[in-house]
């Protein structure tokens, strides 16, 4: 398997200042990229929903890694479905088109597990991506991101444009988003437990009934997988990045409480949505195609994330 040499490449990483992006940049440098040749557009001065900004961003670049997304947990998905659809579609579709026009050598698009149908056989195999409509609460976001896969495959077919599409499962790790209005499940639960401990409260409330299952990928593992895909994968089929380890929300909050030494009561808000019933990936394609397997143990990853939040909560 011949690696794409990164040492003299100009690389654009959208979302490169974010939780995952910073780790992707570190992994790129470890893999031989020159940090001086990595460009990170900032949303405040480069709104990628505007075509002229996309054109400016991709100019003279060899590789584009598109991580930028307007994304959040189930609460944000319910509150702002139109924004999530529009922002993610416009950013992605215009950036791909601009990269094609600028003769970029390779485009790496990061998709979302929300693109899978609501009822997908577990573990989720990439071949099942189109066998149904996504879970309703995150469908606008999921469909917008899935459209980018269609675009990349079409541009490959018509123009020979080398674009790949990677599907990381739910991410977690230090430096995650802990804002209760937009955070995903792990930082949201860690923060709830921490806040209860700080206030001396003996109960915490959690959305749903605890029955849905999820799979989580440590952000460092995800970054490594993205860089391995960038170096070694050049095919049109989408590729899952995950661990294959499935845990229920009930077991997850119990484990977080155990690690944080919280012995209070958990109140389940069963009037709130559960989201997708099960989520667990088939990770064989990534292993076969470019040798990626996750390395960080889930319990250890949770401990690292909890420790980071306790040190940075203030």
Q: What is the CATH number of the domain that holds 100?
A: 3.40.50.720
pLDDT over threshold 80, residue 72: no
Expressed as residue numbers, the domain containing 291 is 11-175+215-244+278-295
* 183 assigned to a ligand binding site: no
| Residue 275: its H or E element | none
Mean pLDDT, the chain, rounded, equals 95
Q: Is 256 helix (H, G, I), strand (E, B) or coil?
A: helix
- Whether residue 282 contacts residue 123, with contact meaning beta carbons closer than 8 Å, is answered with yes
* 15 assigned to a ligand binding site: yes
Q: Give DSSP secondary structure letters for 111-172.
A: --GGGSBSS-PSSBPGGGTTSSPBPGGGHHHHHHHHHHHHHHHHHHHHH---EEEEEE-EEE
The number of beta carbons lying within 10 Å of the beta carbon of residue 150 is 12
- Whether residue 272 contacts residue 210, with contact meaning beta carbons closer than 8 Å, is answered with no
Is 168 inside a domain boundary?
A: yes
- Looking at residue 2, its pLDDT comes to 87
Active site residue 165: no
- Residue 311, judged by CB atoms within 10 A of its CB (0-12, 13-18, 19+), counts as exposed
pLDDT over threshold 90, residue 71: no
- Looking at residue 70, its pLDDT comes to 87
Determine which one of 141, 172, 218, 233 is catalytic.
Answer: 141
Give the global pTM.
0.94
First and final C-alpha spacing in the chain: 47
pLDDT over threshold 90, residue 78: no
Is 54 inside a domain boundary?
A: yes
Structure-model confidence comparison of residues 275 and 236, the more confident one: 236
* 214 assigned to a ligand binding site: yes
* 169 assigned to a ligand binding site: yes
Q: Please state, in angstroms and rounded to a whole number, the distance separating the CA atoms of residues 254 and 297.
A: 17
- Residues whose CB falls within 8 Å of the CB of residue 127, separated by 6 or more in sequence, listed in order: none
- Whether residue 155 contacts residue 112, with contact meaning beta carbons closer than 8 Å, is answered with no
Measuring CA to CA, which residue among 302, 199, 162 is closest to residue 243?
Answer: 302
Q: Give DSSP secondary structure letters for 176-229.
A: ----TTT--HHHHHHHHHHHHHHHT-SEEEEES-S--EE-EEEHHHHHHHHHHH
For residue range 99-119, what is the model confidence (pLDDT) as tens digits? Answer: 999 999 999 999 999 999 999
Q: Please state, in angstroms and rounded to a whole number, the distance separating the CA atoms of residues 292 and 143.
A: 26
Q: Please state, in angstroms and rounded to a whole number, the distance separating the CA atoms of residues 259 and 13.
A: 35
pLDDT over threshold 80, residue 34: yes
Is 34 inside a domain boundary?
A: yes
* 18 assigned to a ligand binding site: yes
Is 187 inside a domain boundary?
A: no
- Whether residue 58 contacts residue 12, with contact meaning beta carbons closer than 8 Å, is answered with yes
Q: Is 240 helix (H, G, I), strand (E, B) or coil?
A: strand
Is 311 inside a domain boundary?
A: no
What angle, 0 to 180 degrees and rounded to 10, lies between the N-to-C axes of helices 298-312 and 185-199?
Answer: 50
For residue range 274-312, what is the model confidence (pLDDT) as tens digits? Answer: 887 888 999 999 999 999 999 999 999 999 999 999 999
For residue range 36-61, what is the model confidence (pLDDT) as tens digits? Answer: 999 999 888 899 999 999 999 999 99
Is 25 inside a domain boundary?
A: yes
For residue range 176-216, what is the model confidence (pLDDT) as tens digits? Answer: 999 988 788 999 999 999 999 999 999 999 999 999 999 99
Is 270 inside a domain boundary?
A: no
Torsion (CA) 143, 148, 150, 153 in degrees, nearest 10 = -160
Is 260 inside a domain boundary?
A: no
- Whether residue 244 contacts residue 298, with contact meaning beta carbons closer than 8 Å, is answered with no
- Looking at residue 43, its pLDDT comes to 83
* 168 assigned to a ligand binding site: yes
Q: How many domains does the chain have?
A: 1
Residue 305 DSSP symbol: H
Tokens of 173: 């790790």
């Amino acid at each position: 398997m011949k690696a794409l040499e990164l040492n003299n490449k100009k690389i654009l990483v959208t979302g490169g200042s974010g939780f995952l992006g910073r780790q992707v940049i570190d992994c790129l440098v470890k893999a031989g990229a020159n940090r001086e040749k990595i460009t990170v557009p900032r949303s405040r001065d480069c709104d990628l929903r505007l075509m002229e900004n996309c054109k400016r961003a991709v100019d003279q670049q060899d590789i584009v890694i598109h991580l930028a997304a307007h994304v959040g947990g189930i609460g944000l998905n319910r509150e702002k479905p139109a924004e999530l659809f529009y922002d993610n579609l416009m950013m992605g579709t215009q950036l791909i088109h601009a990269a094609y026009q600028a003769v970029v050598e390779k485009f790496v698009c990061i998709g979302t597990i929300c693109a899978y149908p609501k009822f997908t056989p577990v573990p989720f195999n990439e071949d099942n991506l189109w066998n149904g409509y996504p879970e309703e609460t995150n469908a606008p976001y999921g469909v917008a991101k899935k459209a980018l896969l269609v675009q990349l495959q079409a541009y490959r077919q018509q123009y020979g444009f080398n674009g790949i599409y990677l599907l990381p499962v739910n991410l977690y790790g230090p430096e995650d988003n802990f804002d209760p209005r937009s955070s995903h499940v792990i930082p949201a639960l860690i923060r709830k437990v921490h806040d209860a401990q700080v206030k001396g409260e003996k109960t915490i409330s959690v959305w749903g009934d605890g029955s849905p299952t999820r799979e989580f990928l440590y952000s460092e593992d995800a970054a490594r997988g993205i860089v391995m895909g960038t170096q070694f994968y050049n095919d049109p089929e989408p590729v899952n990045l995950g661990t294959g380890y499935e845990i229920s929300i009930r077991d997850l909050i119990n484990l977080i409480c155990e690690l944080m030494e919280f012995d209070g009561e958990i109140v389940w808000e069963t009037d709130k949505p559960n989201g997708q019933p099960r989520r667990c990936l088939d990770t064989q394609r990534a292993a076969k195609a470019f040798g990626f397997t996750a390395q960080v143990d889930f319990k250890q990853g949770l401990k690292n994330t909890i420790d980071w939040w306790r040190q940075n909560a203030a």
